[in-house]
Structure 1
């Protein structure tokens, strides 16, 4: 199968590309570094020639509602239009567990992306996943200085490798709409996970857990980002993931 991975150089995109190639698929990586721009549509028509399935793990670094919605609306419309022209048969989207309950800035953009994909011209599958283990290290390096601030949050994080495996599994099947949510093997407080990451791997920082002063913050703290029903669960445990991180600090 010829598969295109939008955002194929990111945290989940890289393992999706690797697994797809290991499975024998012909993989096209859609990213600016490969000369394809989702925000303008440049290079999309050529990239999607002969593609049967698109896996969309594209992302934007923002917490703002406006920027998130603008990015996901523009890139999703461009991608779906190009897929329709190319005759793509399946659009598999990675989204986030709980974004309809925790209506926070960035999540509202992802929710809009889901709406566009499910109502779009290409048959679609939406897989929601919980936060990645990799977020713990990103929380430690987001800002310089000795302090890392993490919101009060009950989470069931999952390894990006497990997300990639499940996303490829659903992408290889016919489109199925919204499928059961993916989560990690255990529930934990996100601040505790970040503290553990700081201790085991570094950088060593004081981790402060603070409530976000909003309804969205209250819902994060009380389990709004946890799955509400049965679904696939990752096999990699957080402690095992930490133990296997390279000393270089580069994410696996």
Structure 2
């Protein structure tokens, strides 16, 4: 089975490609580096030719709601249109747990993306995941002011990106599920502690003060709105185990 993975060189997409190939499927990684851009639609028609399924793991570094909505709406429209023209029978979209409970900033774009996918003509599955273990590392880099690295307070249940990629691969080669079971890590964690522990792996002399950031999104995360509701599919690797793997 041929599966195209949009964002197939990224944090999760690369794991999805690897998992598909290990299961004996043909998987092609699509990214701007090989001439495929969902934001403009460039290269999509050629890239999806013959693909029975498509996994969309596209991401965006911008945090504003306007930029996020514009990016994910454009990407969803182009991908849906190209998949329909190619006769692709399954679109799998990676999303985020809790976005409908906190549709702010970056999450607003994911809400818009989900809305277009569910209304489209291509049979679909949406897989919502909690934040990846790498999220703490991203915060560590982004909220840095010299030797000070802010550690926002929030409640998370982080999951290994490799396990999310494997789950996406399983969903893609099966029948469309609609809203698939969410996936989360095995344990709830405090984001400020995660950032501080990540800092400890780097051997740098830094200060990681815990802060309560005033944005609506971070307030919602502190309230636990980014945690799964009900019983999610649970990954095995804990955040502590992921940190240990960084040292090996």
Change (3 A) 1:93 1:140: same
In the alignment, the residues of structure 1 paired with residue 247 and residue 218 of structure 2 have an alpha-carbon distance, to the nearest angstrom, of: 33
Match of 1:194 in 2: 195
In the alignment, the residues of structure 1 paired with residue 50 and residue 205 of structure 2 have an alpha-carbon distance, to the nearest angstrom, of: 48
Describe the superposition over 1:48-72 as per-residue Cα deviations: whole angstroms up to 9, x where unpaired: 0000000000011111000000000
For the pair 1:220 / 2:221, whether they are aligned, the reply is yes
The number of aligned residues is 247
Match of 1:82, SS?
A: helix
2:102 touches 2:220 (CA, 8 Å); kept in 1?
Answer: yes
| Structure 1: 5+ residue stretches without partners | 248-252
In the alignment, the residues of structure 2 paired with residue 133 and residue 147 of structure 1 have an alpha-carbon distance, to the nearest angstrom, of: 21
Match of 2:170 in 1: 169
Superposed CA RMSD: 1.5
For the pair 1:233 / 2:220, whether they are aligned, the reply is no
In the alignment, the residues of structure 1 paired with residue 113 and residue 31 of structure 2 have an alpha-carbon distance, to the nearest angstrom, of: 18
Change (3 A) 1:239 1:125: same
Match of 1:28, SS?
A: strand
Match of 1:245, SS?
A: helix
User: Structure 1 residue 182: deviation in Å?
Assistant: 0.7
User: Structure 1 residue 74: deviation in Å?
Assistant: 0.5
In the alignment, the residues of structure 2 paired with residue 203 and residue 106 of structure 1 have an alpha-carbon distance, to the nearest angstrom, of: 30
Match of 1:210 in 2: 211
In the alignment, the residues of structure 1 paired with residue 113 and residue 178 of structure 2 have an alpha-carbon distance, to the nearest angstrom, of: 13
User: Structure 1 residue 169: deviation in Å?
Assistant: 1.3
User: Structure 1 residue 203: deviation in Å?
Assistant: 4.7
In the alignment, the residues of structure 2 paired with residue 146 and residue 208 of structure 1 have an alpha-carbon distance, to the nearest angstrom, of: 11
Match of 1:124 in 2: 124
2:151 touches 2:193 (CA, 8 Å); kept in 1?
Answer: no
| Structure 2: 5+ residue stretches without partners | none
Describe the superposition over 1:122-168 as per-residue Cα deviations: whole angstroms up to 9, x where unpaired: 01000101010011122222246212223321000011011111111
Match of 2:110 in 1: 110
1:201 touches 1:242 (CA, 8 Å); kept in 2?
Answer: no
1:2 touches 1:26 (CA, 8 Å); kept in 2?
Answer: yes
1:21 touches 1:27 (CA, 8 Å); kept in 2?
Answer: yes
In the alignment, the residues of structure 1 paired with residue 21 and residue 205 of structure 2 have an alpha-carbon distance, to the nearest angstrom, of: 37
